[in-house]
Amino acid sequence: MKKSVSLILSLAMVLGLACTGTAFAQDVKTVGISMPTKSLERWNRDGSYLKDQFEAAGYKVELTYSDNKYVQQNNDIANMIADGVDVLIISAIDSDTLSPVLADAEEAGITVIAYDRLINNANVAYYVSFDNYTVGVLQAQYVIDALDLENAGDKTYNIEFTAGDPADTNATYFFNGAYDTLAPFIEAGTLKIPSGKTSFQQVATDQWSTDQALENFQNTLASYYGDGTVLDVALCSNDSTAAGVAQAILTDYAGENQPIVTGQDGDIGNLQNIVDGTQTMTVYKNVSDEAGVTLVLVSAILNGETPGAELCEQFPAEAAFDTETYDNGLGVVPSYLLVPYSIDASNLDLLIETGNYAWDEDGKYLVSTLK
């Protein structure tokens, strides 16, 4: 009897040594995940993919959504610090408001990963995102190709911009990527902006709100297109704003043509609009891969490593290691940037290949495979 107990004990010890890190309660690390809001499809996906992937790898997960309220996000993060999480993965509602609570995280020795959105003026170990500037470039390049702007000759086209939330660092990268790429055509007069709204501030949309994008665009249409002026392109930074703009075009645009409407994310409603023709394209970012990259990174950090470019080889998807682009006020934050790509009605099948979407029963629209 005594012998078998000690046998079990020593077996447990051997197993304990073999399964370093996750096999026994005292070794289980906890990851705190702070997402901005449940109101936009992508953050539900991010939260679920992160939670599922970290739990499958043996981590404990605390996941919060802060209803797009930065005060609530501060509180949620403070609670997770009090709960003693080992790592914080944060997608900021407002990039500029997290310094105080993250000073507490630093004091508690908690590693902070800025997820998708950069966090300013705080000690952030790494940034995991997509190449945000390229998102805008892809939207612009789509317009250049669709209108064959390189060979436009004397032809001119009208374009209007809709950008994102000024509190989100990504929003200016998206806008600049698109605007810079189209600038030669704007300067040459091939692209005209009847509203004269050429700066990010003039076309920004608080909280990426669909309703606000709708209202803003209705105003633009009423003021500059009411006389029958043709709108050729509505360059929208993402799908939530594109949804509002597409709606405004449906109800308030007098022209006969369907303008090109760009977006970003591959939200289900927007993919339906792409099938129906009221949105033209979206820039897809596989956030399941973004979660996967974050898991590999966090595991390496908790393993005592200081990851660099070499970690990219272990990622489930292509990503670049960037040590130049994202300065958060305290210095450049080393970043892993995944690759976005263009989707329109002609290549929706690429989304099926991600495993994150499936065709519906009629084979007409895409549905989410997320449970």
| 164 or 307: CB nearest ligand BGC | 164
Please identify the residue of the shown chain whose CB is closest to the bound ligand BGC: 238
> At closest approach, how far in Å is the CB of 205 from ligand BGC?
9
| 169 or 299: CB nearest ligand BGC | 169
Is residue 277 left, alpha or beta, with left meaning phi > 0 and alpha meaning psi from -120 to 50?
left
| 116 or 289: CB nearest ligand BGC | 116
| 120 or 158: CB nearest ligand BGC | 120
The H-or-E segment that residue 282 falls in is strand 281-284
| 86 or 265: CB nearest ligand BGC | 265
The H-or-E segment that residue 158 falls in is strand 157-162
Q: In 9-148, which ranges are E strands?
A: 30-35, 60-65, 87-90, 111-115, 126-130
> At closest approach, how far in Å is the CB of 116 from ligand BGC?
5
CB atoms within 10 A of CB 168: 25
> At closest approach, how far in Å is the CB of 83 from ligand BGC?
26
Residue ranges in contact with ligand BGC by CB under 6 A: 40, 42, 116-117, 164, 168, 170, 208, 238, 240, 264-265, 285
| 232 or 265: CB nearest ligand BGC | 265
Are 136 and 144 within 8 A, CB to CB? no
> At closest approach, how far in Å is the CB of 262 from ligand BGC?
12
| 116 or 160: CB nearest ligand BGC | 116
> At closest approach, how far in Å is the CB of 47 from ligand BGC?
12
Burial of 3 (C-beta count, 10 Å sphere; 0-12/13-18/19+) = exposed
Q: How far apart are the first and last CA of the chain?
A: 48
> At closest approach, how far in Å is the CB of 129 from ligand BGC?
7
Are 148 and 106 within 8 A, CB to CB? no
| 51 or 117: CB nearest ligand BGC | 117
Closest-CA residue to 257 (of 276, 231, 277): 231
**How far apart are alpha carbons 278 and 276 in whole angstroms?**
6
Task: Identify the three-state secondary structure at position 193.
Answer: coil
> At closest approach, how far in Å is the CB of 187 from ligand BGC?
28
What per-residue string of b and e applies to 127-159 under the rule 16 or more CB within 10 Å gives b? bbbbbbbbbbbbbbbbbbeebebeebeeeebbb
> At closest approach, how far in Å is the CB of 41 from ligand BGC?
9
